[in-house]
């Protein structure tokens, strides 16, 4: 195999490019998960991870990838046959609903067009109808990674409140955590599901449940069988700085550094950085003459952009050519969007030249693959970036 020179650009919407400081921390020797050094590590990350979710409550850390944290949110709070209201925002919302069905829940899926966020009004209306409170939980994906559409969780909270319905609110923030403004406590979320491999800039392998008091109360009567995912065992052990079973020690060593990096940059600066990048990507895509998957610009995700291919052209052929020639990985279309969109990840650890290099590689790929487009996309992206001061410049002013 001939070598492809240069650093790879991992511009899928997660896993994201892991900073070397984090990779170095992960490569430190494994430590005794029952020893005093581990205890210091665990107490530190358990304390500080809460800030990322903007919660004062506990965050459960699983030695498992994000899909596991979906399952944890369900099995801790619900009982066989419980009704869950979900919104079909795209591929991942659909997968989560299928998981709920397989676990024996009664899923009511509000249909969607995979181009819009969850409809807060529709959720509120459905809850209002549900006088008997048969719906036990509303489960929504904050940032649908398959479509690049973000849902307005605060609005959903308001709609639930207006309906006066006691349903739990479960939110997947796997591709938004630490990239898009999110407030577990303020928005009254009961379980927030997160993963390590996106905005947290870690490899995959850790996942999270931020849990409200109401969620923990629900867990006490929930009857879906659970053991590995059980919150209370973990939280009890966490109080002393340990875990009930072997944690992912090396990823926790990486998490400590990730939390340092987040503190150094600042969550608000991170959010603005993602918004600024997203604006540049959209300006570029518009110049090319392509549509993005999000119908409402106000819902377009700050952390990724799904670009619709002109009909008759294969997104996967385009991606494959760009990967071979330019060593840039882009996200593929998932489910019904297979081969019809490509997804540009602009989340995690990146800067302007990485973003512009990515867009340039795509623009060159469009030409190389004879996909009709207007050139000048990268130049438009540069203009968009110039219009909006870089957060680090703002910070220095």
- Provide the β-strand partners of residue 210: 59, 192
Give the nearer residue to a copy of itself in terms of CB position, either 80 or 166: 80
Q: Could you say which of 264, 297, 298, 397 contacts a copy of itself (CB under 8 A)?
A: 264
What are the start-end ranges of the E strands in 111-255? 135-141, 143-144, 149-150, 168-172, 191-195, 207-211
For 10, the enclosing helix (H) or strand (E) is: strand 9-11
Q: Could you say which of 178, 200, 211, 251 contacts a copy of itself (CB under 8 A)?
A: 251
State in angstroms the smallest separation of the CB of 50 from a copy of itself: 20
- Provide the β-strand partners of residue 85: 108, 138
Kindly identify the residues of this chain, within the stretch 144-173, that bind a copy of itself according to CB under 8 A. none
Q: Could you say which of 132, 370, 393, 397 contacts a copy of itself (CB under 8 A)?
A: 393
Give the nearer residue to a copy of itself in terms of CB position, either 64 or 180: 64
State in angstroms the smallest separation of the CB of 11 from a copy of itself: 9
- Please tell me what DSSP assigns to residue 61: E
CB 139 within 8 A of CB 96: yes
Kindly identify the residues of this chain, within the stretch 221-250, that bind a copy of itself according to CB under 8 A. 224-228, 230, 245-250
Q: Could you say which of 331, 342, 344, 371 contacts a copy of itself (CB under 8 A)?
A: 331
State in angstroms the smallest separation of the CB of 246 from a copy of itself: 5
CB 127 within 8 A of CB 160: yes
Any contact of residue 354 with a copy of itself (CB under 8 A)? yes
- Asked, as a colleague might, if the bond just before 15 is cis with ω within 30 of 0, I would say yes
Give the nearer residue to a copy of itself in terms of CB position, either 123 or 381: 381
Q: Could you say which of 235, 364, 369, 388 contacts a copy of itself (CB under 8 A)?
A: 364
Q: Select the span of 101-109, 130-138, 185-193, 298-306 touching a copy of itself (CB under 8 A).
A: 101-109
Q: Could you say which of 49, 93, 270, 309 contacts a copy of itself (CB under 8 A)?
A: 270
**Dist. CA 219–CA 42, nearest whole Å:** 24
# residues near a copy of itself by CB under 8 A: 110
Give the nearer residue to a copy of itself in terms of CB position, either 217 or 386: 386
Kindly identify the residues of this chain, within the stretch 50-79, that bind a copy of itself according to CB under 8 A. 62-68, 70-71, 75
Q: Parallel, antiparallel, or unpaired: how do β-strands 168-172 and 191-195 relate?
A: parallel
Angle, vertex CA 343, rays to CA 98 and CA 358, nearest 5: 155
Provide the edge-to-edge strand list for the sheet that holds 328-332.
Answer: 9-11, 328-332, 341-345, 304-308
Site mask, a copy of itself, residues 108-147, x = CB under 8 A? Answer: ----------------------------------------
Where does residue 360 fall: left (phi above 0), alpha (psi -120 to 50 degrees), or beta otherwise?
alpha
């Amino acid at each position: 195999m001939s070598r492809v020179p240069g650093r790879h650009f991992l511009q899928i919407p997660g896993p994201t490019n892991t900073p070397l400081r984090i990779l170095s921390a992960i490569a430190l020797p494994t430590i005794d998960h029952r020893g005093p050094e581990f205890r210091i590590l665990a107490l530190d990350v358990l304390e500080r991870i809460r800030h990322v979710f903007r919660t004062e409550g506990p965050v459960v850390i699983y030695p498992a990838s994000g899909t596991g944290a979906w399952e944890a949110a369900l099995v801790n709070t619900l009982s066989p046959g419980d009704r869950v209201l979900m919104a079909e925002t795209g591929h991942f919302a659909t997968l989560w609903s299928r998981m709920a069905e397989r676990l024996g829940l009664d899923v009511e899926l509000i249909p969607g067009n995979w181009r819009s966020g969850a409809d807060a009004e529709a959720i509120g209306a459905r809850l209002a109808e549900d006088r008997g409170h048969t719906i036990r939980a509303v489960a929504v994906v904050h940032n649908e990674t398959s479509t690049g559409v973000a849902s307005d969780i605060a609005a959903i909270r308001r709609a639930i409140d207006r309906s006066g319905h006691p349903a739990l609110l479960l939110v997947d923030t796997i591709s938004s955590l630490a990239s898009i403004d999110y407030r577990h406590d303020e928005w009254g979320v009961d379980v927030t599901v997160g993963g390590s491999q996106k905005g947290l800039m870690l490899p995959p392998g850790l996942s999270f449940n931020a849990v409200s008091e109401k969620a923990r109360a629900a867990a006490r009567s929930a009857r879906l069988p659970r053991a590995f995912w059980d919150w209370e065992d973990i939280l009890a052990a966490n109080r002393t700085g340990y875990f009930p079973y072997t944690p992912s020690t090396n990823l926790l060593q990486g998490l400590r550094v990730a939390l340092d990096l987040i503190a150094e940059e600042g969550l608000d600066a991170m959010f603005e950085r993602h918004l600024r990048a997203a604006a540049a990507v959209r300006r570029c895509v518009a110049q090319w003459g392509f549509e993005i998957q999000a119908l409402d610009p106000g819902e377009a995700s700050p952390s990724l952009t799904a670009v619709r291919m002109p009909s008759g052209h294969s997104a996967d052929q385009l991606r494959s050519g760009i990967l071979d020639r330019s060593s840039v990985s882009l996200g593929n279309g998932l489910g019904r969007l297979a081969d019809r969109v490509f997804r540009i990840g602009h989340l995690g650890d990146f800067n302007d030249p990485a973003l512009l290099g990515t867009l340039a590689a795509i623009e060159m790929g469009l030409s190389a693959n004879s996909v009709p487009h207007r050139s000048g996309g990268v130049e438009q992206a540069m203009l968009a970036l110039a219009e909006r001061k870089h957060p680090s410049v703002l910070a220095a002013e």
